[in-house]
Amino acid sequence: MGKIETLDRHSVLRRIVRAFFRFRWLLALVLLTFCVFFEIHGSSISIYSDMLGTPDINLIGKSRPIRGDEWLVNTPLAFSQYYNNFHKYSDIPRGTLTDMGTIYGQPVKDWTLIFKPFYIGYLFMSQGRGLSFFWMGRWIALFLISFEFGLLVCRRKKLWALCYAFSIAFAPLVQWWFAVNFIAELLIFGQTGVLLVNAYLKSGNYLHRLFYTLCLSWVSCSYAWSLYPAWQVPLAYVFGACALSTLIENRNNALFSKKDIALAVLYIFLTAGLLGMLLYDSRDTVKIVRNTVYPGSRFITGIGATPAKFIKYTFSYLWGIILPFTDFTQTTNNCEAARFFDLAPLGIILMFENWIKKKKA
């Protein structure tokens, strides 16, 4: 009797897991609606409550003063747009007309906002709910897209894909920099681009391939318009390599014809045209920023690597687990100390082991 009851419980649990997997996107929408309705977000804006001596509500964790780029700059700039009717140019931040949509990346009533979809909530909601949509929309999207990407990389193994999604969405680097520097957008759009390439190659229906081409163009523009080259450029190499790997893996099964050449030309011209319009529309802002000391003249070729630094940066992810409880103030800060939990150098060791076993690279 006990064994039968155990089997029944396992069967029910499997059904629940399958239901969560099947309806994951619908459940994510319900979760997002719940969070937005109750204005749940991850901002450290309650620091102002401490300054003013007014009550605040922290459900989990606490506000972090080191995240000044968020609570002192990014979030107040977003809120200031409510007093500017979300115009692209505002004189509120610094007393003269300032491009709010390009460099600052704030909500604006402009066609360019289609490439920054997580800011759209500000245009239709109150400040609290707009902030919640910005925070929770990006985090939920990052988790779901990472899960889908994990399914691709891990050969549809759901448990491994779930582990991957948690390792990305809860990574110290992502959490400490979440609201600034477009880290979430870069990971969302970059992984989505690879998934679209894979979907294109596996589809034989050219209406579907046209849809994937149009989506890939939008994703490419959204990635490119998430302007933070320090992460944007190296991540582009990573996602480019993933897309190339997907192309190689599907080379024998994918169908190609003259229609694919036409779709490739469409993608190139559409993406280049949209990016050209974006740059032309913000040409004055781009020109001014390029002529600044920082970030315009910022150029880094490396860290002056030595064997000691190589070892330090290889294992620096290990201190990520203590960052919520310890402030790094002597040589760096918690944001700059944050890394991904990559378990280095385990991946390199396993790669060489795989090469030796299979006797091919």
Indicate if 142 and 290 belong to the same structural domain: no
Q: Is the pLDDT of residue 40 over 70?
A: yes
Is 342 in the same domain as 240?
no
Q: What's the number of CA atoms in the CB half-sphere (13 Å) around residue 170?
A: 9
Residue 331 confidence (pLDDT): 73
- Pair (167, 34) in one structural domain: yes
Between residues 320 and 148, which one has the greater pLDDT? 148
Residue 321 included in any domain: yes
Tell me which of 324 and 138 has the higher pLDDT: 138
The pLDDT of residue 7 is above 70: no
Q: Tell me, what's the pLDDT at 19?
A: 87
Average pLDDT, the chain: 88
| Residue 136 shares a structural domain with residue 237 | no
Q: Name which residue leads in pLDDT, 350 or 4.
A: 350
Residue 354 domain-assigned (yes or no): yes
Label residue 348 by pLDDT band (50, 70, 90): confident
Q: Report yes or no on 2 lying in a domain.
A: no
Share of the chain above pLDDT 70, in %: 96
Q: Are residues 167 and 20 in the same domain?
A: yes
**Domain shared by 137 and 267, yes or no:** no
Residue 27 structural domain: 10-57+67-174
Distance, CA of 88 to CA of 61 (rounded, Å): 35
Over 90: is that where the pLDDT of 216 sits?
Answer: yes
Whether pTM > 0.75 for this model: the answer is yes
Residue 62 pLDDT greater than 90, yes or no: no
Q: Is residue 3 part of a domain?
A: no
The phi and psi torsions of 312 (rounded to 5 degrees) equal -60, -50
Kindly state whether residues 24 and 162 are assigned to the same domain. Answer: yes
Residue 1 belongs to a domain? no
Q: Is residue 295 part of a domain?
A: yes
Mean pLDDT of 266-271: 96
**What integer is the mean pLDDT of 258-278?**
94
State pLDDT tens for residues 74-124: 999 999 999 999 999 999 988 888 889 887 789 999 999 999 999 999 999
Confidence of residue 152 (pLDDT cuts 50, 70, 90): very high
CA 288 to chain centre: 27
Query: What residues contact residue 137 under an 8 Å CB cut-off, 6+ apart?
Result: 32, 118, 121
Using a pLDDT cut of 90, give the percent of the chain over it: 53
Is 4 a residue whose pLDDT tops 70?
A: no
pLDDT at 6: 60
- 16 & 164 share domain: yes
**241 pLDDT higher than 60:** yes
Q: Specify the number of domains making up the chain.
A: 3
Distance linking the first and last C-alpha atoms of the chain: 52
User: Last residue of a domain, which of 174, 195, 221?
Assistant: 174
pLDDT band at 35 (very low <50, low <70, confident <90, very high): very high
Judgement on whether residues 289 and 319 belong to the same structural domain of the protein: no
Looking at the structure, tell me whether residues 49 and 151 fall in a common domain: yes
Where does the pLDDT of residue 361 fall: very low under 50, low under 70, confident under 90, or very high at 90 and above?
low
Q: Does residue 278 sit in the same domain as residue 165?
A: no
Residue 302: per-residue pLDDT: 65
- Supply the pLDDT for residue 132: 96
Position 5 in a domain: no
Cβ(186)–Cβ(226) under 8 Å? yes
pLDDT-derived band at 303, boundaries 50, 70, 90: low
Is the pLDDT at 60 greater than 70? The verdict is yes
| Per-residue pLDDT at 39 | 93
Q: How far apart are alpha carbons 75 and 97 in whole angstroms?
A: 19
